Structure 1
Amino acid sequence: MMPCWSRINILCSSVTTLSPKASGAPLSIILARNICRRAPSAFDTLRRTPSTSPAPTAKTGSIDGLSRHLRVPVVAFRTSPGHLREDDFPGFQRWEKRNERGRGNALRYGLSSVQGWRGEMEDAHAAAVALPRGLRRWSFFAVYDGHAGSRVAEHCSKHLLEHIAASNPDFQSALNEDHSDGSSSSAESVANAIRAGFLSFDESLRTLSEKHWWVHCGSTAVAVLISPRHLYFINCGDSRAVLSRGGGGGGGGGDEPYFATRDHKPDDPPERERIEQAGGVVIMRRVNGDLAVSRALGDFAYKCAPGRGPAEQPVSPEPDVVVIERREVEDGEFAVLACDGVWDVMSNEELCAFVRHRLEATDDLERVCNDVVDTCLHKGSRDNITVLLVSFSAQRHCVENMHTDLIRVVITALSKAVHLVSDCNDCTIA
């Protein structure tokens, strides 16, 4: 949010640039166009309120004169009431959804993401139903929520998995143990290798940040690595993953998730203690009064405490890794990975209940993710939104399939009835 005096200065300077020839255009539209041109971030705070009156018209000469005076193209008015083109305003909200789907290893996934009210799309994701190099029975899904730009999140989506699995000798040795006996000790070795992969990736990212000046850019990460025996939930930051099983969570209500990752916020006691021991402070629930997460990849401006390791810095790149045996969730329904644009407006229980009810009506995971995005926007989310839904069940026998089966039964019954009537008629004639 811009300071009040800045918005007043922009508004005043916008008024002074108006030409007497601009009388044919509504003053509110011209002011909004000027404000957006002078400070695009300020326009993120505006709201578009549809009007019930017909769109105004303007004389071509007056608009052309205004365009020459402002040296920018002026709003082109539509004939439909209350709607402006998004291209008329740089930094205006973008509602185009990006969708993706896939299947493999007895899994299905769907994804939906939208830029929303933000001036830039800073989210990224990774989805691989079968990993290369002898890991075809392993799957990996992740959501990355960038801040101060999308560069770190995009780099994570392309290269983090490689640092975890392909170029990590600790992971390869732990993998051999997991293949041999699948014990809890081997699963913990894989978890330790994942943590080591995060730290090595963050160190490689430091070199790039110094080269491309990414010191103030960073990204959270939430992921799930799925092996034939285990689920490895990985979290670094305030993005979140939830796991739902049939009948709800253990010991809770029917909508309670079986498992949910823990957000890394600066005001949490363990996180605050690490930040203060590294010489940082927590002000207004932010690291040094600025960063709203206490763990992230990148953000090297907060990783400069001398004499301390990478996991002991005010902002740590070390993730939490939780291992769950797949036999514990044999009746598992789905897992949801999402950025904080979802969790700002929906609780774990609300999201699990929403997804479960939608899956009873459709097998289309993309459609379910789109419904989650639309619901979050309706609830007032102003952040980028990315939702990745992983289904552990086979093709569900949903309501749509039940309707199809019912129609098929009815058609079969009618066909048999027609044949019986025909046979009776033949017998009567004979």
Structure 2
Amino acid sequence: MGQILSNPVTEKNEAQNGDVLTSYGFSDMQGWRMSMEDSHIADLNILSKLGQSPASKDHIAFYSIFDGHGGSNVSKFCGEKVVSILLGLPSFTENINNDSRKSFSDILVELYLNADIELLKDPVLKNDHSGCTATSILVSDLQKKIYCANSGDSRTVLSTDAAAKALSYDHKPTLASERSRIVAAKGFVEMDRVNGNLALSRALGDFEFKSNDELSAHEQIVTCVPDIAEHNIDYDNDEFVILACDGIWDCLTSQECVDLVHWGIKNTKLNLQEISSKIIDVCCAPTTEGTGIGCDNMSITIVALLKDGESTEQWFDRIRSKNHASHLSFGERKRAIFTYFQFPPFDPKVDINEDPAFDVTLKKPTESLDDHGAGDNKVAPNGRPRLGGPNGPVDLFSLEALLGASGIQLSPVSGGEDGDANSQFAQGTALSEMLASLTNAASAQAAASANTHCEGEDEDVELKDSDDKKFEEIN
């Protein structure tokens, strides 16, 4: 499962936009992982970046999800550079000017190969041990087609009359075709991983697995070469496309994800960005004590396929009018995924933003599930002081227990008996002195709120982000 935090980072990076060809909603979240290693592209019309191109009558949208591993450098590079690499390919310019025999399928393969080439030109990135999976779609208005390129275990799915149609399949080392290439390149598969290390068999970057000079890029232990799918768009039946990293697909099947999007469209007033965000809430694990699913970075883009002259609002109305059978709601699906966790029973009358199943993502990190509903109380249920602030209360004695689990022992000294809200903690280290200072401030808050006399300052003390990071712990 990799290294994880003691509390998930639940702030999301979100966006939505649209034009006459496609409309999209996007959301991503770091979650329980130590850092965010995903990036994405959502470009409504890449040809607009070329300026005037008189021979081209096309309108091309381009979407990608890049799921990093071993670091964020390669995925960040791809998120920033892949569109410019695509536009710089002579074959792409020739294609849109009707001067090339190369199809967009061939061009997308060339794009992924050239992304690796550009990474190798960078003196830092060529020695970087990170990599990223990539799944991309190119939507051509002129051809009425979707071209999908996929390298790795991110995934792209099309909803056709509410049925999930795969536009990609996951590249895992256990697949016979992938294992054959790996072994032929003198690699091996152990514990379902490439050389016992990498859980996927195709990716951008990962150059330590691409170092055999006697083999082509297609033949390396790990290759960036994508599989390509072409789909002729039937606007009466084809509804939307989902691109997502494996953090989503570890929790949901393709059909379950399509069902959730349809449920959100039919039963709520959420837009595509908000539905994307809610799917991440569904997939985020309530705790790290389970199987490990739901603890990864998560990124998802939902792309609506618009008919000629159709607005995003009209698209929503059209999809609702199909009246597809309603499947499990967001709350019911979350409970079905994390069966090991004792959620409160599902209540269909409770608003989806108030469902306690989503406490881990809807509540601030400093407000645990056990503290839900504590509000502005400055004293924990055990009578001990909390540290107040805009993100909610923190029980400093729970913090003591957290640190103790890592071997950091803090003992009460003069200032009160154990259990007294005025107890102090000190050990002579900078961390202990800081905690003692915070505890004193919290004690002052608790006493002031109870209208009791307490020596010291009465002003509010907030736990800043810089302090939060000091308390993050790898499970």
Q: TM-score, normalising length from structure 2?
A: 0.59
Are 1:205 and 2:150 matched, yes or no? no
- Of residues 272, 294, 298 in structure 2, which corresponds to 1:385? 298
1:196 has 2:118 as partner: no
Note if 1:301 corresponds to 2:215. Answer: no
Q: Which residue of 2 aligns with 1:281?
A: 188
Partner of 2:262: 356
Structure 2 match to 1:27: none
Q: Which amino acid aligns with 1:172?
A: T
Q: Which residue does the alignment assign to 2:172?
A: 265
Per-residue CA deviation, residues 25-49 of structure 1 (Å, 9 max, x unaligned), is xxxxxxxxxxxxxxxx4xx275xxx
Structure 1 residue 397 and structure 2 residue 310: aligned?
no
2:82 paired with 1:160: yes
Task: Supply the distance in 1 between the matched residues of 2:235 and 2:18 (Cα, whole angstroms).
Answer: 19
Q: What pairs with 1:114-193 in structure 2 (closer than 5 Å)?
A: 114-131=29-46, 132-133=49-50, 134=53, 137-164=59-86, 166-177=87-98, 189-193=103-107
Does the 8 Å CA contact 2:65/2:136 hold for their aligned counterparts? yes
Shift of 1:177: 3.4
Tell me what 2:128 maps to: 215
CA distance in structure 1 between the partners assigned to 2:72 and 2:105 by the alignment: 27
Distance across 1 between alignment mates of 2:181 and 2:191: 17
Map Cα deviations across residues 349-400 of structure 1 (whole Å, 9 max, x no partner): 1111111111123351111011100100157500000110101144222899
SS of residue matched to 1:291? coil
Inter-partner Cα distance in structure 2 for 1:306 and 1:338: 33
Indicate whether 1:227 and 2:140 are aligned: yes
Once the two structures are superposed, residues 238-277 of structure 1 have per-residue CA deviations (whole angstroms, 9 ceiling, x without a partner) of: 000100022x3xxxxxxx3133311111111111111111
Q: 1:340 maps to what in 2?
A: 246
* Cα offsets for 1:378-429 (capped at 9, x unmatched): 575000001101011442228999xxxxxxxxxxxxxxxxxxxxxxxxxxxx
- Whether the 8 Å contact between 1:334 and 1:390 is mirrored in structure 2 is yes
Q: Is the 8 A contact 2:190 2:196 kept in 1?
A: yes
Counterpart in the other structure of 1:243: 158
Given that 1:175 and 1:190 are in contact with CA atoms closer than 8 Å, whether structure 2 keeps it comes out as no
Structure 1 residue identity aligned to 2:153: D
Alpha-carbon displacement from aligned partner over 1:100-126 (angstroms, at most 9, x marks no partner): 011113321001110000010000001
Asked if structure 1 preserves the Cα contact closer than 8 Å seen for 2:119 and 2:126, the reply is: no
Conserved 8 A contact 2:126-2:207: no
Is the contact made by 1:279 and 1:305 (CA closer than 8 Å) also made in structure 2? no
* Conserved? CA contact 1:362–1:398, under 8 Å: no
> What amino acid sits opposite 2:265 in the alignment?
L
Distance 1:244 1:399 in 2: 11
Correspondence for 1:87: none
Q: Which amino acid aligns with 1:338?
A: A
SS in 2 for 1:292: coil
Is the CA contact (8 Å cut-off) linking 1:362 and 1:399 kept in structure 2?
Answer: no
Give distance in 1, aligned partners of 2:103 and 2:23: 27
Query: What SS is found at the alignment partner of 2:8?
Result: coil
- Provide the rounded CA distance (Å) in 2 between the counterparts of 1:369 and 1:212: 31
Q: Secondary structure at the match of 1:141?
A: strand
Task: Please give the alpha-carbon distance, in whole angstroms, between the structure 2 residues aligned to 1:158 and 1:167.
Answer: 14
Aligned match of 1:252:
none
Higher relative helix content = 1
The root-mean-square deviation of aligned C-alpha atoms, in Å, is 2.3
Following TM superposition, the consecutive aligned residue runs of length 4 or more in structure 1 with deviations greater than 4 angstroms are 398-401
Is this contact kept in 2: 1:171–1:194, CA < 8 A? no
- Conserved? CA contact 1:257–1:352, under 8 Å: yes
- Cα deviation for residue 323 of structure 1 reads 1.2
Superposed displacement of residue 330, structure 1: 3.8
CA distance in 2, matches of 1:293, 1:214: 20
2:429 aligns to what?
A: none
Q: Secondary structure at the match of 1:198?
A: helix
The aligned amino acid for 1:103 is G
Structure 1 residue runs without a partner (length 5+) = 3-40, 47-91, 181-185, 249-255, 402-430
Q: Which has the larger radius of gyration?
A: 1
Contact 2:244 2:299 in 1 (8 A): yes
For normalisation by structure 1, the TM-score amounts to 0.65
CA–CA distance in structure 2, aligned partners of residues 295 and 263 of structure 1: 9
CA contact (8 A) 2:133 2:202 kept: yes
Rounded to whole Å, the distance in 1 between the matches of 2:175 and 2:193 is 11
Which amino acid is the alignment partner of residue 130 of structure 1? Answer: N
Report the Cα offset of residue 331 of structure 1.
2.6
SS of the residue 2:63 aligns to? strand
CA contact (8 A) 1:311 1:317 kept: yes
Quick check: 2:138–2:146 contact (8 Å CA) kept in 1? Answer: yes
Deviation at 1:214, TM superposition (A): 4.0
